[in-house]
Structures are given as structure tokens and as C-alpha cells.
Amino acid sequence: MDAKDILGLPKNALPIQEKKSKPPKETQRKPDGISREVYALTGGLAPLMPSVDVNQLKRKAQSENEKITWQWLPFTNSARKDNLQLYHWVRVVNGVPSTGDYSFAKYNKSVDVIKYTDEEYEKYLVDPAWTKEETDRLFDLCERFDLRFVVIADRFPSSKTVEELKNRFYSVSRAILIARAPSPGDVIVHPLVKEPYNVSQEIERKRALSMVLSHTKQQERRDVEVLAEAKRISEARKAAKAAEEPELPVMADTGHDVTDRAAVAAAAADSISPTPSTQFPSATTANPVSETASVVASLRMLQVYLRSYALEQMVQAASSSAGLRTIKRVEQTLQDLGVNLKPKVPTRAVCAEHLELRKEILTLLSLQKQLQYKEAEGSSYRDGSYAETPGTPPPKRLQRAADLDRTFTPDSLSFGGERVGKRDQKRKGPGRSEAPSSPAQSKRPRKYKASE
Amino acid sequence: MPQNQTHGADQPDIAGPTPKSQRTKMVKSSDDNENKILAKKLKDSEICVPIVYGNIAFWLGKKASEYQSHKWTVYVRSSTNEDLGVVIKRAVFQLHSSFNNPMRVVEGPPFELSESGWGEFEIVITLHFHGDVTEKPLHLYHRLKLYPEEESGSLSMKKPVVVESYDEIVLSEPSEGFLARVQNHPAIIMPRLPSSFALPPVPMEDINSGKRGDTKNHPLSQWFTNFSEADELLKLAAARQQVQAHIARLRRQLSLLDGQQQLKSASDM
């Protein structure tokens, strides 16, 4: 108070006035429909727009026509074989409980497993690898477990693989079907007869699937790259074939086959990464000749064109087998050498030299890669001492690429070991994962031990 | 590669037309013959016309207004300033849509267009060639540049902004008529013809008559860039040498490694 005197402010005049005005305002605006606390949640002010459309809300009035009660009533389940009676809450409308079967009874589906007689067994189903008891046991398990072969394989007394069990089951069913059918025509539409179970195919398919699943990121990337290049090459070939003159297709065809096979084989190869690199140099030697020939042919079709455009096309053709990374490295190398990416004076001679230079750089880069792979192989044999790395640019990339490469060889070797082990022994349940995740060499001996 | 020779005494039925048309053609056979010869294409050869295209822009300085700050000229010229009219029939410059009549046609050499404005945009230059050259037009793309590169660079009325690009028009499989017409023209780089090849003689036009189409004495010729391939060739040759040296070194290293690994695997066994 004294301070206010000193400052010369009026005593309590304005603040009190404001306080007085505020509370009346708030209480005045409170609506009747909702409680004070709830209203305060909105911040003390009504919303400008209703957030929920009033029409969307369920109307309570409807339920006022009928009388709904809930009763604790017994019920039976038609899916059960015993007559167990359980109790549950039932919604009763106007004194009438809802009728009908237990709502979940319809989900009790089962598989129709064929039952054969002993005579049928003697006549059609005798198999050297399977005794009658085993077959009977198999069918019994199939019925109990609804053809869930993984479980059946687990419970089966003697050790048989899932594929073998499936094979036996399906061939028996098929034989019975055919035997019981009044005429071959009736049964030929049955899926089992049309497409019988193929054991070897299934085994192969599952193996390939597990392999694809356990691909490391690098392998995936590589595959995608290779496939994209193969696609590009084959498309370029097709375009060139359409525009080409009769002399050239022969060369283009052979080039096409070589690159296709090389590209796809490299893509599908499950073994070590060096194979793509060793296949590429042989593929690229066949490539440039037919590639540039097809570009020349397409340029001829144009009749008139700019030399700079022609150079672009030739450069694209020459680097069609290279991935985006490689092309970037070529451009980086050109810059390092002080050469314009697009010549400022594109005369015939300059363009020719430029093209040759680019091709040589591509060769250089592929040689560098080869060298890295060779070193990686060498280092995995010799445990540590790396051969001298070439000092060509860029050194960082070399090391990184070398690191990636080193991870490939241990992976594939250990993976091979795992696979062999698995075939021999029976797997019990989920067990350990197959995918070799860590590239560290120290894990390799442990994995081999575990699989024995 | 097989080269086509001129057949002086060939009959008109080379291409094997139907007898009916042959009969009607018999009348003008000699004229047709000549035309056919001239229209025959020289396979696996190409004619090259080096050109330079670009723009020169002058800042108008005191006379500059908001919408007319620069006076610029966009053009296509021969790299040696020769007459391009012998090859190009007309050039069409497609300007920005804000210009009146944005499609400007220039019917003869020198193929240039002058305008005034304030903005930079892409100009599409379409070159239409004479009938005996090719029916297809060729497109060039040039971004009009008015302002100098360095932002701090003061706009000078005297020194223009010049942007030129060098390129070469390549005409593949030119017709013999065209070859004959331009065989000694300085704007053209002729293909290497086989020694036994003889072009039919065509009366040379009087050069001095009519308008001169070359740009040797062009008012802006002092700003033209002189493009020389020697520089680029040198750089490319040096680069190639370096790369080849690297390749040789890598190959040696690879073979060395191969040898070492073979020894190692042999000793392991």
C-alpha cells in the first residue's frame, strides 16, 4: 500500500473492478444442459461449431419401444459331441430370447480325410517306403490335426520330413480317388488329380524360398541392380532390333543372349558375389560393340542430329551395363581428371576421344572391383594380412567396399554349413534361425559345432 | 563397306516399278534419271556442319525501362562464320509467350533475331533444311542469358553478356545431289569420299550476287567466341593416358595376386 503511495498509483481501483466483472461473466454463460465441471473442460466457453453432428448420435428413443432385459440362460453347442450345458447372458427382447444355434458353432469346420479299407490298401496303396501301420498312423494324425503337417511331422513316431508325409498323404488320397471314381472323367477335375503333389519341386521351392528370405541387404541390392540392368539391356536390344538394318542383328542377338544369361545367372546365383564381377567383364566385352552399333543405327534413322546428342546416346549405351553408382564414379573420375562431363567443343574427334575415355574409366573401375574381391578372398584364406590396396581414388570407397565384400565370403560359407546340417537332422520346433546375420568370422566355428 | 557408285547409264527400272508406271515414266526418263541419281544416298557417310548458337545481350543503361532493360540477339551461325544458307532453309525461334508473335520465322541467313526485354527464358530454335538435305527439322535449346554470372558484376552498357554453344549438325547418308551442291562450300565438312567416287557436276551459283549470308562482317562479330577443339583434345588425350596407366598397373597387381593365391592353394593341399 505504501509502495503504491510512493509510486502514485491509485489504490485498488482498477484491479478490483476487473475481478468483479470476470466472475459474473462466467456464471452468466454457463449453459444448463451440462454440469459446471464438464463445461469448464471446454475452457469456459461454448464451442463455435458442434463437433459431433447431432443426427449421427444414436437415438435412445428407439429402444424405448421394446423392452430389453438380459438373462442368465443355459445353452447348448451343436459343435460339441457331449451334451455339455453351459450358461451365459442372453439379450431378451420383450420376454423372447433369441433363437438359433450357438453363434460360434458354424466355425467348427474339419477336413475330409479319406478313409481307406484294408483291401483298398492292398490293392492300390502299397509302397516300399511306407508300412501299413505308418500310413494308418499318418492318416489318423491328419484327421486329428486337420492336415497341419508341421504338427503331424512333429508327432509322427518315425522321423519323416514334412514333404515326405505330404507326398504320402496326397498320393494315397489321389490313388483312392482315382480307384473309387466310377469313370476317369468324373474325377479328372478334382484338383488332386489335375495337379499331383510334386515332392522334389516342393523341396526345391522351399529351399529357394528360405534362401531368398535369408538374403542380406547387399545381396538384395545386388540382385535388384543386376535385374534392372538385364532389363535395360534387353530393352535396348529390342529397341535396337526394331530400328536396325539387316547386317547388325546377328551381332546384337548373340550379345543379347550372352548378356541376358550372364545378367540373369548372376542375379539368380546364390553363391559368392565375385561371380557377378567376373561375369561382367566378359559380358561387357560383348556389349559395347553391339550397343554402339545399335545406337549408330538409330542415329542413322534420324537423318539429322546434333553431335552432342549423338555423344549422349553413345555414352548411355556404353554405360547401360553399369549401375547408377558406377556412372557417378565415372563422372567423378572425369572431374578429377579435369575433363568436362560434356565436351565444350564436340567435334567428331573430341567426341570419339571422350567416348573412349569413358569406356576406359569403366574398365578401370571394374578392374578396381576385381582387385578388391581378389584381396577379400586372399584375406579370408590368410587370416588378416591384406594385400596392398591400390592407391587410386577414392580410398574411402575402397575400404568400405572391401568391408562389404569381406562380409560376403564368411556368410556364404557358414550358410552352406548350416544347410548341410539341417538336411540330416530332424528339426524340433522353432530352434535357431538359419540366416547368418553377423559377418564376424569368430562366429563361424560356433555355428558348425551347433549343427552337429 | 560397299559404296554406291553413280550409274550414268542405268535404266529407270532399278527399283523395279510396275510395268504400268514404267510406261508413263518412259517419257521423262532422262529427267527422272538425273533426279534419281541426285536423290541417291551415300551410305555410311555423314556430312558435318559445325555451328555455334547463342545470344548476345546489351544492357540498355540509361534508356532501360522496367520492361525493356536489355537488347538481345539470339542467333545460329557457322562456327567459322560461313554462310549457313546453303544448308538451312529457315530458322524458327520460339520465344516466351509474353512476346508478340512468339514464333518468329527467319527465312534466310543470317539466322538471327533481335529483341528487347527483361526476362531470361528458354528459346527453342528449329532449323528447317533444304529439300535435298532432309525433311526432318532439328531443334536446338538455348537459355537466354541477360545478366552476368557474378552477381556483383556491374552492368555495363558497353560489354554485353555473351553465351554461345558449339555443336555440329550431322547429316547421315546425305543425298548425292546435296553433296554435289555443297562440295566446295567452306561451311561444310565433307565426308571422306572414295577415290573412285565422282559427284555429278552442278553449276556453281554466283557467290557475289544477292545478299551475303555469312557472318564474317557481322556487327557483333567482335563478341563471337572462337571455339577450338585443340584444347579439349589435349586434355582428353592426357586423361586417357593417365587412365591407361592405372589400368596397366591394376592388371599387373591382379595377375600378381592370382599367382600368389594359386601358390597358396597349391601349398594348402
CB < 8 Å to B171, chain A: 303-304
CA distance A234 to chain B (A): 26
Q: Which three cell numbers stand for residue A130?
A: 511306407
Specify the DSSP class assigned to residue B220. Answer: T
ipTM of the complex: 0.78
Instruction: Report the C-alpha gap between A299 and A293 in whole angstroms.
Output: 10
Nearest to A385 by CA among B257, B269, B253: B257
| 3-state DSSP assignment of residue A436 | coil
Instruction: Record the pTM.
Output: 0.47
Residue in B171, B227, B246 closest to A345 by CB: B227
Residue B209 clears pLDDT 80, i.e. is over it: no
Q: If you count DSSP H runs as helices and E runs as strands, how many of each does chain A have, helices first?
A: 19, 4
Name the B residues in 19-58 with CB < 8 Å from any A CB: 48, 50
CB-CB under 8 Å, B251 with A367: yes
Cell numbers linked to A277? 564381377
Residues from chain A that touch B235, judged by Cβ atoms under 8 A, are 337-339
User: What span, in angstroms and rounded, lies between the C-alpha atoms of A97 and A100?
Assistant: 10
Q: What is the dihedral of CA A206, A208, A212, A213, to 10 degrees?
A: 20
In whole angstroms, what is the distance from residue B217 CA to residue B226 CA? 15
Mean pLDDT, chain A, whole residue set:
73
What average pLDDT does this structure show over A312-317? 89
Residue B140: list chain A partners with CB under 8 A.
306
Pick A390's closest partner by Cβ from B50, B240, B253. Answer: B253
**Is residue A157 helix, strand or coil?**
coil
pLDDT in tens, B97-132: 999 999 999 998 889 999 999 999 999 999 999 988
**For A293, how many CA atoms within 13 A lie in the half-sphere containing its CB?**
19
Q: Give the closest-approach CA distance of B171 to chain A in angstroms.
A: 5
CA-CA distance, A291 to A254, in Å (whole number)?
A: 12
* Pairing, β A86-93 against β A68-75: antiparallel
Q: Is residue A340 within 8 Å of residue B231, measured between CB atoms?
A: no
Q: pLDDT tens across A403-415, in order?
A: 433 333 333 333 4
Q: Do A310 and B261 touch (CB under 8 A)?
A: no
pLDDT band, residue B192 (cuts 50/70/90) = confident
Measured in degrees and rounded to the nearest 5, phi and psi for residue B71 equal -115, 120
pLDDT digits (tens, 9 = 90+) for A155-176: 998 888 899 999 999 988 888 8
Listed by number, the residues of chain A in 420-439 with a beta carbon closer than 8 Å to a beta carbon of chain B are none
Q: What is the pLDDT of residue A409?
A: 39
Question: So what's the pLDDT on residue A430?
Answer: 47
How many contacts (CB atoms, under 8 Å) link A and B?
A: 130
Contact A279, B144 (CB under 8 A): no
What is the torsional sign of CA A334, A338, A343, A349?
negative
Average pLDDT on A251-272 reads 47
CA angle at A257 for the pair A256 and A258, rounded to the nearest 5°: 95
DSSP conformational letter for A321: T
